[in-house]
Amino acid sequence: MRPATFDRGILLNFFLFMSSFAVCQVSRPGKPLLLNYEGAKQLIVYEIEVPGKEESAESAKEVHPWLKPAGSGFLADVGFDIYETGTWDTLQDGTKVWRAAFLVSHATALNVVFNTYRVNKGVKVYLYDYEQQHVLGAFTDMNNKTAGMLATAQLFSELLIVEVQVPSYLDHAGELVVAQIGCDFSVDRETKALKDGWYGLSGDCNEDINCYDSPLYQQLKYSVVRIVYQGGERCTGALLNNTSENGRNYVITAEHCISNENIANTSVFYFDYESPFCDGPDGNSSRSISGSTIRAKGDCLDFVLLELLEPVPYTYRPYYAGWDVTGNAPLSGVAIHHPKGDVKKIAVENHSLTTATFSSEYVENSHWLVHHWESGTTEAGSSGGPFFDQHGRITGTLTGGQATCSDPVNDYFQKVAGEWDFLRLWLDPAVVHPGFVDGYDPWAEFWRSGDTLSNIRESEQLVTLKDGLVWGNLSGHNSAYLTQFAEQYRILDKKTLFGILLNISQNDVTSAASHLIVKVWQGGSFPEETIFEKDVLLADLIQDEVNLIETDSAVYVADTFYVGYELFYGQPQDTFAVRMAISRPVQQENTAFVFDGTKWMSMSDYTSGIVNTSFSIFPVVYDQDPVDPDDDPEEAVKVYPNPVSDECWIDFREMTSGPVTLRLYNLSGQPVYRQDFPPYQTKIHLQTGNLTSGVYILKVTGDHGTSTAKLIIFR
């Protein structure tokens, strides 16, 4: 029986509720130990004292009353070296484990800033709450940065545990110092039960981005990011395209949000945080990037251009927004933003914007004024959010204004056109002097290749079946104590699996720790090799809904494979089940399999031919792995223009993690120029006006090795 397919558009409209056991920044597979394993040493809890004034939900900073950052974040200095604090333990297999807990009474959210993070290969670092319901990590040596810093995402708890696992073959973890604990007090403590504690905080007039089915808005939304900094303060930003369309990870936001390099280095950027449908539940806030560096900002102009210190995975769906620097007033447009740090919202303006002055602190006439929002508004947390004109290009970023739900008037957006002298070095590497640039989606073709596979015909009725069981269902917990359930698929070509849809009919949960394990197997007549598994809390799954469980990374499937889950039986007893196709008369049309504790059996064989069915378990697959259209390993460094008159640019294919040295030699081999640069370079400006015309050899040395190019100076 061949699987049916649904196109991606149907999939997106069908369901996009994200479920995840781990809250994953860019991290690697793994999970922490149980807190109370046999022989575990007592956990040391460090109580962090925070000055009372910092616990106010109102920021104590002296800012213009119309600016719109959100939160009252506070960074508490702690300076805990893992070799001097906490507890170490050694497991039977030789693994060394370090743990420490940090308690900030009445805090809504906590995060950690490591000012020294240089761990050895094989070491894993985790952060989690006491119940281990929310986990960050594993962080590994892949998260090492030249600056030696790492800021984590927030956990919505007043107690946070840090765990370091060191394999037996290593003597020590490396260097790891917890420098600061970020604390946020701006939310009522009851909201900590939510996946994301800032969900639902924005005003009722705000509309979810998925209340609009406009293809343009649905594309633009992937450029918008939530920015969290200084322990819990929130703003909004957007990814920007450049004239080379090479996917440089530039983010523009307000300078009053990210004002210096330290804040930029320790900020966290959240992608694709939105409610899955209009007026829907909380979204997936797991897609985040830690750290950035400042590329440009201007005096008395409220903007800052950042470049992220980590690449954005294609699974985050990055879209690089276009921009307009002509200075022509937008005739209409929308703002897409994260008010109060909430899921992505949209505000609509159907009329022309006008030039205005925000305040005397900023350049006169440097802002666009939205006189009145037709729908929605902006709030604290919207600062830095982009205004997209009628063509979908960014023309400004929010500084602030008077707009509220009750009176949505007078919002001011810093003009991108007024920033061009500062931005052009970064946004116009091709030196084409454009008035505008359209957006860029490097993975568009790949995402269009997506399908949802199904063995269930549209005409078939979906049911849950008992077939003689004393209690429970054939697709879940039952009196026969079946533990694993799998749906078989056969495909002709290799595919990349990014998620599994479960159509859940029953989900009675008895404990916060109750969970299942979603699995993918390769196999033949039965499931054989497990190639993916993921813990999912039952409390995170919605009964009578189709739930999407995303894989943490690409899973490759081919030929015959199986998708399903493993259940656990405890006291008191959970009851979980998925829907299945009503029993068919022909045994060959069965694709459902169960594990009875000793062996796999088809549902037909298990029920002696009575039940022939398919489970409502649907893999979401794409055509193999995407190919980066800008990935050209043969050109680590480009020099342009060449020949050159008075200046040129050296463009790096990837951001350098270490220092860079430029050397210039004449054809006799004599050095005529040398300059050293710090890490995080993607572009270097080289002035050649003091050199005579001729041919030179340019050598660029960095962590990519040494690249050599001929440089022709001609006047």
* Cβ count near 620 (within 10 Å): 23
The per-residue pLDDT for 702 is 84
The 10s digit of each residue's pLDDT in 456-502 is: 998 999 999 998 899 999 999 999 999 999 999 999 989 999 899 99
More confident residue, 7 or 118: 118
Find all residues with CB under 8 Å of 668, minimum gap 6, and list them.
none
DSSP assignments along 509-547, one per residue: ---TT-EEEEEEEEESSSEEEEEEEEEEEGGGS-TTEEE
Locate the domains of the chain by residue range: 31-193, 207-442, 448-622, 637-713
Residue 191: predicted pLDDT: 47
% of residues, the chain, pLDDT over 90: 63
Task: Report which of residues 238 and 285 the model is more confident about.
Answer: 238
Has residue 452 got a pLDDT over 60?
yes
User: Residue 62: what pLDDT?
Assistant: 53
pLDDT reading at 14 higher than 60: no
pLDDT level of residue 635 (50, 70, 90 thresholds)? low
Largest CA distance in the chain: 92
C-alpha to C-alpha distances, 296 to 258, 411, 419, 425, 429, nearest whole angstrom: 11, 24, 9, 9, 14
Pairing of strands 393-401, 322-324: parallel
Output the pLDDT for position 25. 59
Indicate if the pLDDT at residue 660 is higher than 50: yes
Rounded (5°) CA angle 330-331-335: 60
Share of the chain above pLDDT 70, in %: 91
Res 359 pLDDT > 80: yes
The CATH code belonging to domain 31-193 is: 2.60.120
Assign 573 a pLDDT band (cuts: 50, 70, 90).
Answer: very high
Distance CA 175, CA 162 (A): 15
Would you state the pLDDT for residue 220? 98
Q: Is the pLDDT of residue 60 over 80?
A: no
| pLDDT at residue 539, rounded to an integer | 85
Is residue 624 pLDDT above 80, yes or no?
no
- Tokens 């739900």, residue? 405
Instruction: Name the residue with higher pLDDT: 82 or 628.
Output: 82
Burial of 383 (0-12, 13-18, 19+ CB in 10 A): buried
Structure tokens at 475: 């697709």
DSSP symbols for 226-257: EEEETTTEEEEEEEE--TT-S---EEEE-TTT
- Mean predicted confidence (pLDDT) in 554-559: 90
User: In 3D, which of 706, 700, 704 has the Cα closest to residue 639?
Assistant: 700
Instruction: Give the predicted TM-score (pTM) of the model.
Output: 0.80
Q: Is the pLDDT of residue 286 over 50?
A: yes
Confidence tier at 187 by pLDDT (50, 70, 90):
low
Per-residue confidence (pLDDT) for residue 15, from 0 to 100: 34
| CATH code of the domain made up of 637-713 | 2.60.40.3080
pLDDT tens-digit map of 246-271: 899 999 999 999 999 999 999 999 99
Instruction: Examine residue 641 and say whether the peptide bond preceding it is cis (omega within 30 degrees of 0).
Output: yes
31-193 against 207-442: fold identical? no
Buried b / exposed e along 55-82 (16+ C-beta atoms within 10 A): beeebeeeeeeebbbbbbbbbbebebeb
Give the pLDDT mean for 316-323: 96
Of the candidates 44, 178, 194, the residue with the CA atom closest to the CA atom of residue 133: 194
- 1.20.140.10, 2.40.10.10, 3.40.50.150, 3.40.630.30: CATH of 207-442: 2.40.10.10
Question: Average pLDDT of 628-649?
Answer: 73
CATH class for the region spanning 448-622: mainly beta
